[in-house]
């Protein structure tokens, strides 16, 4: 029996800058495996949402093509599967790149110690974070809870820079011997109802597509990022989030490439600080794993969240009567993505104007976003709700009318996703109820029928939210 060197692909679906794959290649013929874990992530907050599962399906197809269709696919309990592999094959080494969700850490710790007990050369690597969460601590050895000192003092100043990009594995010749005959289709990642078919027109998936998108952004979008990133119709965001989530590109590749390029420092530094927010989210769920399900700030455990399924449905369907909110929710539904500024607006609207628990919003995002990411999603929802680390204070409530006017002044974004308002004058676009009847007639809109009237009043719902907050302020 030939010796095999196993690389376990997880959220590192690339050949370049892949430390574990590189290690495996040094130990002999690489046998790449992928396991769809159906056992350890039982909590619904941690489940693979339908849009992410769709992405994963296509990303695996692309990676498998790059590896001559030599990836071995499995589905089930990773520990059991790995136990079978080491019983059946002569395993020289076993390696993977680290994941950081609490349930993954628990699972991987168990598997690592199992492999060690079996005398297998097991190694794990950093591949997806610029700084390991346990490396960054305050002077008193406790974790940071505020972004700025975490990033500036903890990450940028205190430690050496992120690890360098490792050598490419593009020429890797994987082991011809297959150890599983399961196909990607047999992982059953695609939802039975093919709603996801519409997503394909918005995305190119896989390592090559990720690099191409990044290169284009670096040439055309990075210049002007600091200001332009706030405007949803501007081409100044990278839209790399699903690629980063699945590891089709690493933050290290981006970090070191940006440093050699010609965009102004202010834009590069700001772009890197957004990668820093990604680091901070991972850092938080590493140090405070309960926050994936519970309020980080326990004061919020007593918050009197409302229960209104009609409001929740109107929000999910983009029918709240607030055009910028509806545009965002429809962008999410149609494309599996939403611009960051609009994510903040729709999330604030859900938790503050509709008084709906942030966990309901997180669940919907988790199902609909191609970039659904336990760390970023949890930290961002808690940030918006006011219950998280370094959170937006609860009393800061985004006003969807002012936000729309400021960040989508010509209404290009809003009209694109809410086409029934395409002929509506910009002056009234974000507060249609202020328009006279003839404005609707001229725009050909039957108000209340073609486009809904607001489901709540902004002023009243704001007052109710502030009173609710007063009750827990303490």
Distance CA 472, CA 461 (A): 17
> Which of 371, 403, 429, 445 contacts ligand FAD by CB under 6 A?
371
The residue among 70 and 360 lying less far from ligand FAD, judged by its C-beta, is 360
Which H/E stretch holds residue 210?
Answer: helix 207-220
> Which of 20, 380, 387, 414 contacts ligand FAD by CB under 6 A?
380
Q: Choose the stretch contacting ligand FAD; rule: CB under 6 A; options: 89-97, 261-269, 323-331, 372-380.
A: 372-380
> Which of 184, 275, 391, 418 contacts ligand FAD by CB under 6 A?
275
Burial class (CB in 10 A: 0-12, 13-18, 19+), 292: buried
- Least distance to ligand FAD, CB of residue 45, Å: 11
Which H/E stretch holds residue 121?
Answer: strand 121-125
> Which of 277, 282, 315, 322 contacts ligand FAD by CB under 6 A?
277
- Least distance to ligand FAD, CB of residue 17, Å: 16
> Which of 226, 278, 359, 415 contacts ligand FAD by CB under 6 A?
278
Return the SS3 of 362. Answer: helix
Return the SS3 of 139. Answer: coil
Q: How many CB atoms lie within 10 A of CB 216?
A: 13
Contact 147, 280 (CB under 8 A): yes
Distance CA 434, CA 442 (A): 15
- Please give the size of the binding site for ligand FAD, defined by CB under 6 A: 27
- Least distance to ligand FAD, CB of residue 383, Å: 7
Closest CA to 165 of 125, 124, 204, 209: 125
Please give the structure tokens belonging to residue 415.
């009209």
353 near ligand FAD, judged by CB under 6 A: no
Q: Choose the stretch contacting ligand FAD; rule: CB under 6 A; options: 89-97, 133-141, 369-377, 406-414.
A: 369-377
Query: Within 382-411, which residues bind ligand FAD (CB under 6 A)?
Result: 384
The residue among 111 and 351 lying less far from ligand FAD, judged by its C-beta, is 351
- Least distance to ligand FAD, CB of residue 271, Å: 6
The residue among 72 and 97 lying less far from ligand FAD, judged by its C-beta, is 97
- DSSP characters over 242-292: HHHHTTSS-HHHHHHHHTTS-S-HHHHHHHHHHHHHHHHHHHHHHH-GGGG
315 near ligand FAD, judged by CB under 6 A: no
16 near ligand FAD, judged by CB under 6 A: no
Return the SS3 of 221. Answer: coil
Please give the structure tokens belonging to residue 453.
């009237």
- Least distance to ligand FAD, CB of residue 358, Å: 8
- Least distance to ligand FAD, CB of residue 36, Å: 20
Phi, psi (5° rounding) for residue 437? -60, -40
Q: What sign results for the dihedral spanned by CA atoms 31, 34, 37, 40?
A: positive
Query: Within 205-264, which residues bind ligand FAD (CB under 6 A)?
Result: 229, 237-241, 244-245
Question: How many residues make up the chain in this entry?
Answer: 474
Which residues lie near ligand FAD (CB under 6 A)?
A: 229, 237-241, 244-245, 274-275, 277-278, 281, 340, 343-344, 347, 365, 369, 371-373, 376-377, 380-381, 384
């Amino acid at each position: 029996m030939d010796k095999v060197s196993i690389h376990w692909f997880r959220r590192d679906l690339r050949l370049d800058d892949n430390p574990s794959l590189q290690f495996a290649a040094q130990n002999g013929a690489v046998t790449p495996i992928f396991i769809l874990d159906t056992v350890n992530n039982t909590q619904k907050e941690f489940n693979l949402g339908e849009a992410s599962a769709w992405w994963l399906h296509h990303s695996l197809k692309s990676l498998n093509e790059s590896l001559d269709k030599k990836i071995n696919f499995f589905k089930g309990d990773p520990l059991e599967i790995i136990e079978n592999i080491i019983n059946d094959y002569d395993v020289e080494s076993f390696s993977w790149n680290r994941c950081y969700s609490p349930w993954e850490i628990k699972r991987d710790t168990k598997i690592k110690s199992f492999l060690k007990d079996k005398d297998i050369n097991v190694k794990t690597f950093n591949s997806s974070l610029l700084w390991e969460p346990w490396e960054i601590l305050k002077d008193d050895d406790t974790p940071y809870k505020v972004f700025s000192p975490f990033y500036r003092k903890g990450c940028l100043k205190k430690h050496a820079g992120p690890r360098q990009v490792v050598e490419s594995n593009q020429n890797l010749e994987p082991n011809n011997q297959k150890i599983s005959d399961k196909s990607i289709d047999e992982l059953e990642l695609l939802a039975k109802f093919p709603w996801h078919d519409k997503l394909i027109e918005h995305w190119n998936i896989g390592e090559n597509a990720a690099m191409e998108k990044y290169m284009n952004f670096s040439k055309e979008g990075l210049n002007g990022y600091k200001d332009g990133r706030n405007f949803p119709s501007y081409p100044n965001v990278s839209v790399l989030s699903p690629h980063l989530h699945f590891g089709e590109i690493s933050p290290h590749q981006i970090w070191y490439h940006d440093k050699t390029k010609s965009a102004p420092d202010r834009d590069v530094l700001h772009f890197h600080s957004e990668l820093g927010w990604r680091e901070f989210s991972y850092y938080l769920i590493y140090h405070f794993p309960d926050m994936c399900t519970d309020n980080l700030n326990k004061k919020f455990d007593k918050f009197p969240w409302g229960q209104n399924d009609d409001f929740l449905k109107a929000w999910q369907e983009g029918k709240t009567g607030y055009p910028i909110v509806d545009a965002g929710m429809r962008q999410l539904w149609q494309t599996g993505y939403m611009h960051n500024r609009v994510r903040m607006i729709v999330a604030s609207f859900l938790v503050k104007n509709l008084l709906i628990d942030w966990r309901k919003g997180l669940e919907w995002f988790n199902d609909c976003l191609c970039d659904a990411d336990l760390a970023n999603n949890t930290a961002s929802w808690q940030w918006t709700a006011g219950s998280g680390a370094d959170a937006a204070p609860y009393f800061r409530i985004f006003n969807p009318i002012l936000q729309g006017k400021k960040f989508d002044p010509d209404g290009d974004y809003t009209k694109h996703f809410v086409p029934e308002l395409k002929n509506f004058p910009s002056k009234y676009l974000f507060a249609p109820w202020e328009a006279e009847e003839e404005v609707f007639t001229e725009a050909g809109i039957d108000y209340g029928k073609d486009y809904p009237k607001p489901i709540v009043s902004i002023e009243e719902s704001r007052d109710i939210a502030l009173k609710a907050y007063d009750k827990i302020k303490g």
